[in-house]
Amino acid sequence: MTIQWIHGMRKRMATASLQRRISVLGGLLVAVALLGGAPATAQSLHCLPTCSSVDGRFLAVANGSTLVSLSGANLELQISVPAGTTSFQLGFFDGDARGVDLMGVSHWDNGFLSVFNYTLIADPIGDRSGTTVIELLPGMPFIPSTIMPDNDWIDFTVVTGPEAQSPSGNFFYRLQIELTAPSLTVANALKVRTSAMVSGTALFPTPSPFSYIANLAGAADSRIVYPSFPAMTPTTYDGTFQFFFDVPISQSNLAVWDGDFDRGKYDGTELDTDDPDTPNAPFRPSWSTVDAIPEGVPAGLGPSTGNPPDDRNPASTGIYIQKTPSVRYDLLFPDSQIFANENPSGNQEWERFTISTAPFDDTQMDYSTSLIPAGVYELTVQGVDMQNLNALVFPGRVLCVDSEGNSCQPIRPFLVGDTVFLDHDGDGDQDHGEPGLADVTLELVDELGFVLGTATTDADGHYTFPAEAETYEIRITASNFDAGGALEGYVSTTGDRRTDTVIDDNVLTYDFGYRGTASLGDRLWLDADGDGAQESGEAGLNGVTVELLDGSGNIVAMTTTSGDGNYSFDHLAPGTYTVRVVAATLPVANFTPTYDLDGTGTPNVAVVTLAGGIIRSDVDFGYLQPPAPGTGTLGYWKNHSEAWPVQQITIGGVTYTKSQAVSIMGTPGRGDKTYDVFKQLVAAKLNVLVGNEASCINATITAADTWMTTYPLGSNVRSSNAAWVIGGPLHQRLDDYNNGRFCAPHRD
């Protein structure tokens, strides 16, 4: 519908009345200018729909039966501010709040009194749930348009606060622009701008229509749009509008609704048609105002289907209003697909322009495509005649532009993440001492499988993605496992992908654990000839404790040698490790190291570099046994506890401390043969541990241990019992060994 020139009444306003209004408002305007602070530079602004104050492009709020509006008398905008910002500028260009200029001619707006209130509300998660009003001027919960200057910007400084901070750390506000008198017939042409610290200004939310207009409300406007008026060139308005909108996740269907585009040339040569994929009467979209009619072939200002027609007869008053071609628009996808709508809506109707991934059906869609990606979309409308009030509904928030017309980037209220870690114990949880893994690449994926973005973990293994309230999968990319990749040689303990839903808070439980596939070992042995080489017949050292330390010196694993001196550490990540033999657990205290991987200059310790997936079986330790000291009798070991090489000893499956064993060795058996075997077995084991020849007595020691298991200490076995038939010879053999009567020399 048209916005007619109605400046005549304003020109007839009494000069005295005009001067009285200017006088009353002047002081307040000066105060606003001082409180608002200096405007930001043109390079630092983000604006909607544009930053120019002379191009005639405006958002519009129209009300009243003669100013038909398909978007209602009120408008809501969203202001988003990056985390860490302490204050930002918010400015308005309310085309003409006070009526007329010094020539008595109105600018931009239509209607005698254009009274709108501008209210800023903290809305921390951007869902209209916020209620805290932010005063742009002290003591003023809203800014009335009546204090705004003619044809100029007015700016305010807003200090950010916790009342507007979202879980992501960003700040969100809702800007309400409300007509104070619903009975007024008025059209308000306006713009919004914010400082460089603010990004993502957006129309909020969908489906919520908004109107825009290339306004020309009087002769004063004509002199702005046409600087050499009445000449038609040059001009600040070429008939195009450009909008950007955000689609945060990929779609199977995407629809743009255009309303009241007044499609239909003045002479009837180009007319609106019935759009096959927009339902006809009685259907009207849920957001329709009372002015909207069902889609079909609308009645316009004959012979056109538009009111006013598109294009206007250039021979009449349309000479300054007409912009060619007839109204149309192009929808540009983020992946550079372009779809044209050559026949948008006619007078007062809504038409749907649909792109779908389903097989083409002209009753359901205008175009079929294989992909509707997430991202920033661009809609460019051509041939928008001045004074035509058009409406749009986008499937995502409209984004601001900078002074060069480039789109702002969306700011999100939530975060998803958060850690990729080294899971030493493989339990799927990050425990103390399990560090994060750096430089791991992850993908954020929506429910249709579209990759929304990638992130890389920091030095602590942390990562985040900005997010809306949607369902997301996060997955580890396959390239991480390639040669040289951050996860080369690792296997997952949690799975490589996770799905969760963001509702009203951050979701920082997308954690991923990994263990390495490398291993190292292999053997501690008794190097009988001391040559540093393992040879046939050289026995392994069992029961020795071996520790594994990471590059920071933390013990990450521990094991004990067994099976002829063997040990191993498995599931290791790539890196540098230290293998450390706990010397106190060696059978003899004064063993001499003869071999370790990086040299015996650092005895009992070897530093190993391990690549992903590598198995190293060369981390060996050789020891030369000192000369045999000779065997000691049970009396010797009873009376020389300081010579014991161990602090505890196991007999018959029962472990005794040194003091307990010494006490028992001094206890009379009184005919109980289990005491006799116990004493000789303790002495024999100690004689072996200090380095005496063991091959001749090992079998006897094992058999005696078994006998003591069957007949524990204190079982009251007598020499006449059948048990002593086996126990007696074992006792004698142990006694002979301990007294040096065979196999090993006796201790002096």
pLDDT at 156 over 70: yes
SS3 assignment, position 132: strand
User: What is the per-residue pLDDT for 37?
Assistant: 41
Sign of CA dihedral 371, 374, 375, 381: positive
Distance, in Å, from the CA atom of 613 to the CA atom of 30, rounded to the nearest integer, reads 73
pLDDT at 17 over 60: no
pLDDT at 3 over 50: no
Q: Is the peptide bond before 574 cis (omega within 30 degrees of 0)?
A: no
SS3 assignment, position 580: strand
User: The tokens of 461 are what?
Assistant: 């293994």
pLDDT averaged over the chain?
88
User: The tokens of 415 are what?
Assistant: 């975060």
Q: Would you place residue 627 in the very low, low, confident or very high pLDDT band (cuts 50, 70, 90)?
A: confident
pTM here is: 0.76
User: What is the per-residue pLDDT for 95?
Assistant: 65
Q: DSSP letters along 22-74, please? A: HHHHHHHHHHHHHHH-SPPPGGG-EEES-S-SSS-EEEEEEESTTS--SS-S-
pLDDT at 438 over 50: yes
List residues bridging with 491 in a β-sheet. Answer: 515
User: What is the per-residue pLDDT for 62?
Assistant: 87
List residues bridging with 422 in a β-sheet. Answer: 514
Q: What is the pLDDT of residues 237-277, one digit of tens each?
A: 999 999 999 999 999 999 999 999 999 999 999 999 999 99
Reference 97, options 112, 80, 114, 73; nearest CA is 114
In the chain, % of residues over pLDDT 90: 71
User: What is the per-residue pLDDT for 575?
Assistant: 86
Exposure class string for 270-289: b at 16+ Cβ within 10 A, else e? bbbeebebbeeeeeebebbb
Stretch 575-582: mean pLDDT, rounded? 95
Distance of CA 589 to the CA centre of its chain: 56
Stretch 412-437: mean pLDDT, rounded? 94
Which element (helix H / strand E) includes 198? none
Give me the phi and psi of 663, to 5 degrees please: -65, -40
pLDDT at 731 over 50: yes
Comparison of pLDDT for 691 and 248, the residue scoring more: 248
Cα–Cα distances in angstroms (integers) from residue 537 to residues 3, 114, 356, 617, in the given order? 106, 105, 78, 20
User: What is the per-residue pLDDT for 16?
Assistant: 30
Please work out, in degrees rounded to the nearest 5, the angle formed at the alpha carbon of residue 468 by the alpha carbons of 467 and 473: 60
User: What is the per-residue pLDDT for 1?
Assistant: 46
Distance, in Å, from the CA atom of 409 to the CA atom of 400, rounded to the nearest integer, reads 8
Q: Would you place residue 366 in the very low, low, confident or very high pLDDT band (cuts 50, 70, 90)?
A: very high
Q: What is the pLDDT of residues 158-187, one digit of tens each?
A: 999 999 999 999 999 999 999 988 888 888
pLDDT at 109 over 50: yes
Q: Would you place residue 5 in the very low, low, confident or very high pLDDT band (cuts 50, 70, 90)?
A: very low
Please say whether the beta carbons of 489 and 517 come within 8 A.
yes
Name the CA dihedral angle for 424, 429, 434, 439, rounded to a multiple of 10 degrees.
100
Stretch 414-437: mean pLDDT, rounded? 93
User: What is the per-residue pLDDT for 205?
Assistant: 65
User: What is the per-residue pLDDT for 106?
Assistant: 59
Exposed/middle/buried for 233, CB within 10 Å: 0-12, 13-18, 19+? exposed
Residue 361: CB partners within 8 Å, gap ≥ 6? none
Please say whether the beta carbons of 104 and 192 come within 8 A.
no
pLDDT at 202 over 50: yes
SS3 assignment, position 421: strand
Q: What is the pLDDT of residues 515-550, one digit of tens each?
A: 988 999 999 999 988 999 999 888 899 999 999 999
Distance, in Å, from the CA atom of 257 to the CA atom of 353, rounded to the nearest integer, reads 6
User: What is the per-residue pLDDT for 629?
Assistant: 79
Q: What is the pLDDT of residues 20-66, one digit of tens each?
A: 333 333 334 433 433 444 445 555 899 999 999 999 999 998 887 77
